[in-house]
Each structure stands twice: as C-alpha cells, then as structure tokens.
Homo-oligomer: A and B are copies of this chain.
Amino acid sequence: MKILLIGASGSIGKILEPELIKNHDVVMAGRNSGNFRVDIADTNSITKLFEQVQNIDACICVAGDCYTGDLFSLDEEKLNIGIKNKLLGQINLVLIGQKYLNENGSFTLTSGKMADKPVKNNISKAIVNGGLHSFVLATSLELERGIRINAISPGKVSEIPAFDLINSYLKSVEGQINGEIIKVNY
C-alpha cells in the first residue's frame, strides 16, 4: 500500500514509521519535516499536499496541536488552537482527501482518551477528541468508493507498549473496519 503519514516526526509518528515502512510505501508529511510539508490548519496546504502525493491507499494523521491547561485559564483563543489544528485540521484532511484517495482507501485519525475518560486540565483536548469521535462515526456512513475511516484513541502515549499502538493503526489501515474508535491502553 501507499501510505501518507502526516505528523511523522511526532511522538506517535516516530513509533509508527519504522514499522510501516517494512511492508508499505510510506510518504511522510509534516509541518517542518518529512518528504512533503503540510500545515493541516490550512486547507490550501492540505489541497496542495494531495495534489502532490497521488495514488494514496491510506492516509494516517498523527498530527494536531491542542492546548493543555485548567478551566480557569481557558478562553476562546486557547480553545481555537485545538479546534483549528487537531479537530478541523483532521476533518479537513478527510473532506479534501476523500476526493484524492484510491478506491477502498482509508483514513486513520488520532484522537485520545480525554474524549471519554478525561482528567483535569484537559478540557480543550476533551472537546477536540470528542468531536473527532463523533465525526468518524458520522462520516463513516457517507464516504463513497469504499473509503473507510477510523480513529485511534490512545491513552498516555509514553505508557503504551509500542506493539499495541502500532497494531491499532495497522488494524485500521490493513483491516476492513469502518467507523470505529479504537481505544488503546485505557
């Protein structure tokens, strides 16, 4: 498969990439590194990426900034960091990328446990991850040409065995599941 991995230099990307390249043709994209540059908060940048990288079977996104901080430090500006990056960024990847992906391709987005098992100081992540989960459920009903979509929802990445994290992404990319939220280590 030809896989587009967005956010390859991040904490999850660094774990996934060496494993994915064993069996797949992996194109890496990132804001500051990779084969192609992309800022997922910018729809023009996303369109340019899909125009440049053709013939994609699987698009994996492990990118997306989000604010961390307590309730009393939150305001609309801080909320918008995660909404524009991790939430709308990943949503726009799908809205734009669906036109470019190969038939029977797949999107694998990354959310996180704050959606359903939040802990203090993570309200912004909760909003973003919860929105992503429902986006995946709803969008899986409407994608055409056999294109699938799933989300990986990891617990604290530093505490997840690499094997479990890798397998969750492979299950989405190589399997046949659609509209699933794969919870990892929580």
A residues in contact (CB < 8 Å) with B: 43, 70-72, 74-76, 79, 83, 87-88, 91-92, 95, 98, 114-116, 118-123, 125-135, 137-139, 141-143
Asked, given contacts A79-B88, A95-B74, A142-B71, whether A126 binds B118 with beta carbons under 8 Å apart, the answer is: no
Enumerate chain B residues within 8 angstroms of A119, measured Cβ to Cβ: 141
The smallest beta-carbon distance between A75 and chain B, in angstroms, is: 7
A61 to B70: give the CA distance in the assembly, Å: 23
How many copies of this chain sit in the oligomeric assembly?
Answer: 2
Enumerate chain B residues within 8 angstroms of A122, measured Cβ to Cβ: 138
Asked, given contacts A70-B142, A71-B142, A88-B76, whether A118 binds B134 with beta carbons under 8 Å apart, the answer is: yes
Verify B43–A76 contact, CB threshold 8 A.
yes
Q: Is the interface of A mostly helix, strand, loop or mixed?
A: helix
The smallest beta-carbon distance between A86 and chain B, in angstroms, is: 12
Verify A135–B130 contact, CB threshold 8 A.
yes
Verify A127–B87 contact, CB threshold 8 A.
yes
A71 to B72: give the CA distance in the assembly, Å: 36
Enumerate chain B residues within 8 angstroms of A74, measured Cβ to Cβ: 95
Asked, given contacts A126-B135, A127-B135, whether A120 binds B92 with beta carbons under 8 Å apart, the answer is: no
The smallest beta-carbon distance between A48 and chain B, in angstroms, is: 16
Beyond A43-B76, A71-B143, A87-B131, list 17 extra A-B contacts (CB 8 Å): A71-B98, A71-B139, A71-B142, A74-B95, A91-B127, A114-B134, A115-B130, A115-B134, A118-B134, A119-B141, A121-B142, A126-B134, A127-B132, A130-B130, A130-B132, A130-B134, A130-B137
